[in-house]
Every structure is written in C-alpha cells, then in structure tokens.
Structure 1
Amino acid sequence: MEGYLRGQIASMANVNIETLRYYENHGLIPSPIRSEAGYRLYSEEVLVRLAFIKNAKSCGFTLKEIRKALTASTASSVSIADFVALIDRKIEGINQEIAQKEKTKAMLSHLKSDLQASHKAPEIQELLDILHMKS
C-alpha cells in the first residue's frame, strides 16, 4: 500500500493536522485508506486538493464554496458557467472592497490635511465632526 501518513501529508501541504482532520470530516478531502496496521494513508490526490483549498482560500473563497467546486469538479456535468459566475462575484466583491478602502484613504488624507492646516490639536468632538463630514 502506498500513501502518506497524516503527519507527512500535513507537513508536505503545510497545514496543521487538525486542519487535515477538519477537511476530512467536512468532505473537502476524501477519507484515506487504511494500512494493514490501521494507519491512515493519504494519496497524492489529497496533496493536490489541499493545495487547491489553500489557494482558493487565499483568493477569498469560503470552505462552502470550495466544497461545492470540488464536488462539481468530480461530477460528470461540470458547468463552467457556474464557476465563472462564482469568480465574477468574487471579483465584484473585491472591487467593492477596493472602492471602500479608497474612500477611507481619501477621508483620512483630508482629515490629515485639515489637522495640519489648523496647527492645533483638535478636541474629540471636532474630530467626530470632521469624520462625519467626510463620510
């Protein structure tokens, strides 16, 4: 029997053993086969799935979305349109976050300018008024 032990696969994928257990319990990776001695043996496919999960998480996908993608990818009727729509929604969410961050950055820049122009430390209420006016 070939395969990697739990500690080996976790180390190779750079994930915690508890994370590996969680992914297994929640259907993100297949249950491993057992050796004659009863040890869990994980396949190379699990290593690939773990890399996919980590990359998808870093792109902002939830575990629920990742599970759905993994399930769909093993089904015979994979809908590329569904994956594209999911990616489009992620991109739109990122664009909204960027717009909000730009608005916040502009507000803070104006606040900084206002404070520097006044040459005095503002009172708390003045700061609140300035922040309220800029938002």
Structure 2
Amino acid sequence: MGSYLRGQIAEMANVNMATLRYYENHGLIPSPPRSESGYRLYPADVLTRIEFIKNAKLCGFTLKEIKKALTNSADGSISIQQFIDFIDRKVVGINQEIAAKEQTKQMLAELKNNLQSTHKQPEVQGVLQILHMDS
C-alpha cells in the first residue's frame, strides 16, 4: 500500500482538507509520518477509518463518541456486546427525541387550530394581546 498526501487522501475520502486536519488534531485518525520534505504521508488504511467516521456520524454518533469507540477498540477494551449495548442506548435516546418532537408538533397543531378558531380560548386571547395581534 502506498502513501498519500493530505490533498490526495481528502479527495479519495470525499472530505475537505480542514476536516482531515480536524480529525487528525482531535485524535480520530493517527498523525501520519512526514516525508523528508515535511509533507504528511497518509497510509491507505486511513481511508477505511475515515469511512467508519463518516458512517458513524450518519448513524447519529458524535465525534466524541466515535473517538471513544476507536480508542477503546484500539486497546481492546470494548467488546461487541458493549458496542451493541451502546447502540441500544443511542436508539433509546433517539426514540426519546422523536417523542419530544412529536409532542412539540402536537402542541403547534393545537396552537394553530386555536388561532384559526372563531371562538379562541382565553389563553390564546392573552397570547394574541401580548403579541399585539388582537383579532
């Protein structure tokens, strides 16, 4: 496997160079060795790592969570079952976010209905007065 310059790796991974720098500065990808002239020379396997990071982000994991998983997997301190448990906790969190958004959506629908009603509830009348939207 060859070595690639930062711009080449960024293009191959379909990320910009600032993202690559960020990942390197925050320990998501290892700092590559440098050539005699000082250029960073990334090994090809960094592409697999970047692809993992991109996929994990799409699944809703934060960069902090991704770094922790990468660090723990590198030193062998995480098992498949622990990773599955982490995924399950992530799903529970997403379900809670969905429930909260559904509740907000329902509240907005009720507010809209109350605003469109010819017989507005007293609370809605109060809100309209505060907003100087008496109708």
Coarse TM-score class (shorter-chain normalised): 0.7 to 0.9
Q: Which residue of structure 1 lines up, in the alignment, with residue 53 of structure 2? A: 53
Residues 13 and 47 in structure 2, CA contact (< 8 A), matched pair in contact too:
yes
Deviation per CA, 1:60-96, whole angstroms, max 9, x where unpaired? Answer: 2122211111122223453122211211111111101
Q: How far, CA to CA, are the matches of 2:55 and 2:102 in structure 1? A: 26
2:93 is aligned with 1:93: yes
Moved more, 90-99 or 74-83: 74-83
How many residue pairs end up in the alignment?
Answer: 127
Moved more, 98-107 or 65-74: 65-74
What residue ranges of structure 1 are gaps of 5+ in the alignment?
Answer: 129-135
Deviation per CA, 1:17-76, whole angstroms, max 9, x where unpaired? Answer: 122112112221112122343321111211111111112122221222111111222234
Relative to the length of structure 1, the TM-score reads: 0.79
Q: How far, CA to CA, are the matches of 1:86 and 1:76 in structure 2? A: 16
Q: How far, CA to CA, are the matches of 2:46 and 2:126 in structure 1? A: 55
2:125 is aligned with 1:117: no
Change beyond 3 A, Cα 1:13–1:124: farther
Superposed CA RMSD: 2.4
